[in-house]
Structure 1
């Protein structure tokens, strides 16, 4: 919510419910022309921007002529604005888009060239979370650094313009000249501390940028930045305040301490991956993306304080303007922040001039000004969400609040109900089209979160202001904000845990248009009887088709389950019943803490005598912390592998924090429980690359060969259960499989957890030697690794195995077959995917 929308529009809804104000829409066509021209130019080339600009100019002229004949002042103003903006789209906007498209650095990037670059940092580095096998799930190993090119060198330490091997000619001396934007990807430890405005030099390996953006290339840097320039005094001051806020937030719990800076200034670097994903699923992620709501709260608090001391409107607006400038300086130049700042400044100007009902013109001016200043905002998801959310709050929220008030709902409650619903309806189509999913719990979660957002923001900003001069006072304010932050974590966690909280939706333009149609239909159904009938028929038909299969689906978990392959996405999480209620052995924890936690909750597992980590790749240990959450763990069993080093340290730290021993499982070892026996079959050999330990805190730079070595270091165990023998082979690949066969290991089993998610790096002879009747494939839907491999699946089917996949069946349970079952052997029960 912007300052204008949040204060002006809400007051209109409550103060004048009987006389609905007319909106000033004269600048809307001009804003759409600018946005459409930039979007068309970036998506389809500068010629498309020229076409949009030309059409806008012609439309403006024709509308102006028509308005002059009809003597319509409003239409004439709209036509003039449209024509002027059409000219601005023709030039300079299309000229800038053309320059980006023809930037010489694009050709160098297309050839994968290496250059030495001098560049100026545009924005604060953003953390890049690594979800790969060797990467730290939720950890930060790299950062994204948007920069503007200052000059291109020839690979020497000199940063002046020079020749670049293989580069196209951009000047008379064979050098190239570029001032385009580049997105650098560099090591977090060395690049995360840069500030906007600093100039740096680095050797950069270029790659093509994604289409539809102002970025001309993506650059990869391996070493630290060189010749780093000094940042401005105010950037240093803002960074000092952000760092101090992170420090004083440490008085809260780990999750709350990482979340508070994100809620206040958008600093999400310390945010827990689990909380981040839960906020996304619950539809609360906008709270950590500083936008108009934060601006409205900060400026609104200043205005209320000024009113309390009986200061005039001009002085109040001036004080709020200073607070706005300081807040934007503290947060940074994100697109949504800039839009919110412009809207806030326009709203304050309207307050000074006495024009409080200028929300729509202010939004239109903000859109035009910001896109003309930076056409890249036209394709920014954050910018689009911010604009449509504001539009929803301007056009929908006041009417819905007034309608609720007319039905005797108290005004404050009416606004609290109308605002999140309006924001959800407005933004859902954009989210659906861009993200391919919709959070169906968003409205409820935002209603529950709304009461604490403003107090947290005000207390957090005040704490940030005091964090440098008086950390003790800042900590007191943080303590006051703590319960509200904990409440947000609780709301997000419970909302994200609701079955079907996130619904998959077709991505892209058609998905967005389809979601918009659904939203319009829902709004129409609330207003028109015929629309309600049509919607009721559609909903009834959908329920008739979808509900019966769910009603007849088997209860979960099935009685007597022996093995469950949890649907943890692209990773492994296997649960083995020990024969006593609430007790089970867990093999691997998957990449996502939420997924393994929910699976164990569904199985009512409270005690885990042994947690086996087959190896230390992120898709097997990423959810480790969740296994300990609320459960008793007897020991953590590992193999001989110690890489990746960050994962090994994380295992040791987690075990130490929970006072659980870490034991190494050796070949030939056997562990028994009531109805479960584990026999360790491998590995017999672990390559040095997988044994390496890094004790100085540095990261181990893995090559693809090291990744294979780590996979081949997987602990291989065979579990004897009431449902049959289960071979759990981790991610072993060709060498380790051959070694098992050569050493005569007894790998035969009725159930096979297919190695490495069905990777092509699997011997046919190994699969045949297992002679499995059931093949469990733990794999993520639509994964980018090509898992499972079609040829491997054909071999398993040819050997007579029933293939079950977690991406298709969700959690998969194996239960013993009935004694009188003629077929004999284990049975498969699928829970069904959550469609998350």
Structure 2
């Protein structure tokens, strides 16, 4: 039944308190929350403590001894039983005890799950054979898409390209006569490292093909079973989720003993169809569009990946809740209206009932995970969306914070290894910031005269950056000063690029010409995003070096509220805001004339500069205005490139190499 009487009165957030809102709604004579979900009162945070407790327990117990895991489970269950018994005796004060018992039960469940997953790394014959570096013949089942390593070059020889494949060992036997007939059934997670040296021959025109197109190992799909001959080696202690490492000589290609499952074959055909639809596009578009849609980053070059990392746009290449939200928006309409009786979207226009729509959304969630692969951000997005759909189907239209907490709890119980991944942590932090901080900041900006759409975009980008920056600095040892403006500029292109990309994915199998046309349309916003990343990363002051440790993260986390408080006070003083904005622009752009006056670098009339490029040498000889001759460059192109930019060199007519380094020199000309 469609209701249109109560929604218009509360379409904009107000400063009134809960009592005022309740009295206003009582006078309307309608049930609380019938047309406006925000009338249900404050956010329900009861599931947040159990989710956090389970998360922390899973992270700690994965490598804990069995005795400690068992003791934690018994102690938690006993304490929960005591709290529940006390609650039954004193019903008046039982809510806090019930919450405490729920937390303890979640701790016990997380400890049990983490203990069982951790035991997989220690039981069976695989760990023992790995300690002996034994040669084995094994039957493995692939659990992830193969990917290429991108090692940094050092020394006089090029580093060997390797294909990495995550798999489960199902049967293993020691190679050689002594081991024949002694195959043992097991289940142990391993990391396969396959030598991806090219097979003999090349392209029809005589040119060598790229490794990505030559190696047959890169075309394998998850759930495929292989028979391999390899040598086992121990995995890194204390951090990996693998029982061992399998080093495979892959010159003859994989020996398949079991075909992939039907859903995986369909997902592989869809992903291959999307790649085929993008083959005729520009280099950036054909690399980025599969990454935006299904997380396929095989074609993204190291240079482009570095630009995205420098501008904190790497989240656009990892399939996340934004992609899933766009899919649901096509089905349900705008996310804010999905909880109203006056919902929109394709389902409402086709007359599909609400519960059938939720069921259809669940099917989309499952397909989303299969096609995009179960990465941490994909699992979190799908689980959170599924819980929200369940709430929508049962009529419990609440805040998405309980849905996020439920998703975190279910995921860390299902796969405790997610509790130790940075991707999962960043995904949850960003989502939590969008649900808690961003709405308040958006309201504050609108009160100060900022247009609503711009206020929402600013609030979303600023909240996600403020919360995720302390974790990002641990990974990159750098704080980006251009992340917020680059994300704002890219935000306008993400939605059309993703929607058109999904349409190209859906039409690639039945109508490849239509898919190519849709991919060409999507290439325009995709190239816009790539240009933003390259331009932002190329600015001299795009980032500030920061201690890349948890101490540095804590320092940044302590400074962030101070900066936010100062910024809030500055919003009331337009002139001070303009001055601070100008100083920030000068800090990021760093005009050479101003930089030379302040720092004295580069010195006037310089002739020769030795650049710090780590292990190696690099010299720059002045050869005219904005021109320099480079002698050696070191193994890392980013370091010598930074030196050239600090000198104002924009043209390199000659590069002299006195040592035989296998390197890629990124020219600034």
Same fold (TM over 0.5): yes
Closer/same/farther in 2, CA of residues 142 and 52 from structure 1, 3 Å limit: same
Q: In the alignment, is residue 131 of structure 1 matched against residue 173 of structure 2?
A: no
When residues 554 and 488 of structure 1 are mapped into structure 2, their CA distance, relative to the original with a 3 A threshold, is same
**Deviation (angstroms), 1:197:** 0.4
Q: State the Cα RMSD in Å.
A: 3.5
Q: 1:196, 1:231 within 8 Å by CA — same for their partners in 2? A: yes
Give the secondary-structure state (helix, strand or coil) at the position aligned to 1:333. Answer: coil
**How far 1:109 moved relative to its partner?**
2.1
Distance 1:22 1:517, change over 3 A: same
1:292 maps to: 321
2:386 matches 1:365: no
Partner of 1:205: 231
Shift of 1:343: 0.9
Partner of 1:353: 394
Select the residue among 144, 149, 166 that pairs with 2:169. Answer: 149
Work out the CA distance in 1 between the residues paired with 2:331 and 2:661.
Answer: 50
Out of 293, 297, 308, the residue aligned to residue 268 of structure 1 is 297
Matches within 5 A, 1:732-747: none
- The answer to whether the Cα contact below 8 Å between 1:436 and 1:504 also exists between their aligned partners in 2 is yes
CA contact (8 A) 2:596 2:602 kept: no
Alpha-carbon shift at residue 487 of structure 1 (Å):
1.6
Contact 2:235–2:244 (CA under 8 A) maintained in structure 1: yes
Q: Does 1:306 align with 2:346?
A: yes
State the SS of the aligned residue for 1:100: coil
**Does the aligned pair in 1 maintain the 2:120–2:243 contact within 8 Å?**
no
Alpha carbons of 1:518 and 1:104: their partners in 2 closer, same or farther (altered >3 Å)? farther
5 Å matches for 1:565-584?
565-578=610-623, 580-584=624-628
SS of aligned partner of 1:290: coil
Query: Is 1:564 the equivalent of 2:609?
Result: yes
Alignment of 1:108 with 2:152, yes or no, is: no
Whether the 8 Å contact between 1:563 and 1:576 is mirrored in structure 2 is yes
Secondary structure of 1:585's partner?
strand
The alpha-carbon distance between structure 1 residues 293 and 607, as it changes in their structure 2 partners (threshold 3 A), is closer
Distance in 2 of aligned mates of 1:472 and 1:135 = 47
Query: Do residues 185 (structure 1) and 226 (structure 2) align?
Result: no
Please point out which of 262, 266, 279 is paired with 2:308.
279
**Distance (Å, rounded) in 2 between the aligned partners of 1:228 and 1:615:** 47
Describe the shift of the 1:519–1:310 C-alpha distance in structure 2 as closer, same or farther (beyond 3 A): farther
Alpha-carbon distance in structure 2 between the residues aligned to 1:159 and 1:257 = 48
SS where residue 243 of structure 2 aligns? strand
- Say if 2:538 is the partner of 1:497: yes
Quickly say closer, same or farther: Cα 1:144–1:129, change in 2 above 3 A. Answer: same
Paired with 1:34 and 1:159, the residues of 2 have a C-alpha distance of 43
> Structure 2 matches for 1:619-634, cutoff 5 A?
621-623=663-665, 626-627=666-667, 631=669
User: Which among 630, 638, 652 is matched to residue 586 of structure 1?
Assistant: 630
SS in 1 for 2:219: coil
How far apart are residue 486 of structure 1 and its match? 1.6
Q: Does 1:401 align with 2:442?
A: yes
CA distances 1:115-144 after superposition (whole Å, capped 9, x unpaired):
22211111111221121336998x992122
Contact kept in structure 1, 2:136 and 2:230, CA below 8 Å: yes
When residues 160 and 371 of structure 1 are mapped into structure 2, their CA distance, relative to the original with a 3 A threshold, is farther
Aligned ranges 1:479-490 → 2 under 5 Å: 479-490=520-531
Segment of structure 1 superposing worse, 431-440 or 383-392: 431-440
Q: Does the aligned pair in 2 maintain the 1:26–1:74 contact within 8 Å?
A: no
Q: Deviations over 1:431-488 (max 9, x none)?
A: 2334443333222221221111111111111111122222221222222222211221
Report the CA distance shift for 1:369/1:13 in structure 2 as closer, same or farther (over 3 A).
farther
- 1:242: which partner in 2? 271
Other structure's SS at 1:220 match: strand
Distance 2:108 2:560 in 1: 35
Question: How far apart are 1:340 and its partner, in Å?
Answer: 1.2
Distance 1:246 1:28, change over 3 A: same
Measure how far apart 1:409 and its partner are. 2.6
The answer (yes or no) to whether the contact 2:596–2:603 under 8 Å persists in 1 is: no
1:593-612 to 2 correspondence within 5 Å?
A: 593-605=637-649, 607-612=651-656
Partner deviation per Cα, 1:797-821 (whole Å, 9 max, x = no partner): xxxxxxxxxxxxxxxxxxxxxxxxx
Q: 1:220 aligns with which of 217, 229, 247?
A: 247
* Gaps in structure 2 of 5+ consecutive residues: 1-9, 19-40, 197-214, 334-344, 571-579, 588-593
Instruction: Indicate if the aligned counterparts of 1:149 and 1:178 stay in contact, CA closer than 8 A.
Output: yes
Distance 1:516 1:608, change over 3 A: closer
Measured in 2, the distance between the counterparts of 1:225 and 1:156 equals 20
Distance 1:94 1:582, change over 3 A: closer
Question: Contact 2:62–2:114 (CA<8 Å) still a contact in 1?
Answer: no
Please name the residue that 1:42 is paired with: 62
When structure 1 is superposed on structure 2, of 420-429 and 401-410 the one drifting more is 401-410
Tell me if structure 1 keeps the 8 A contact 2:429–2:468. yes
Q: Indicate how the Cα distance of structure 1 residues 607 and 444 shifts in structure 2: closer, same or farther if over 3 A, else same.
A: closer
**What TM-score do you get using the length of structure 1 for normalisation?**
0.64
State the partner residue of 1:162.
182
Contact 1:191 1:225 in 2 (8 A): yes
Kindly report which structure 2 residues correspond to 1:373-388, keeping only aligned pairs within 5 A, or say none: 373-388=414-429
Structure 1 or 2: larger helix share? 2
**8 Å CA contact retained: 1:127, 1:140:** no
CA 1:409–1:13: 2 relative to 1, 3 Å: farther
Q: Which structure is richer in relative contact order (CA contacts within 8 A, separation 6 or more)?
A: 2
Contact 2:64 2:115 in 1 (8 A): no
Secondary structure of the corresponding residue to residue 25 of structure 1 = coil
Change (3 A) 1:403 1:330: same
Q: Between 152-161 and 604-613, report the one with greater CA deviation.
A: 152-161
CA distance in 2, matches of 1:611, 1:434: 33
Change in Cα spacing, 1:609 to 1:426, as seen in structure 2 (3 Å) is closer
Higher mean displacement: 336-345 or 496-505: 496-505
CA distance in 2, matches of 1:58, 1:504: 49
Q: CA deviation at 1:17?
A: 6.1
Aligned to 2:37: none
The one-character-per-residue Cα deviations of 1:395-433 (angstroms, maximum 9, x if unpaired) are 211222222233333332221111111111221222233
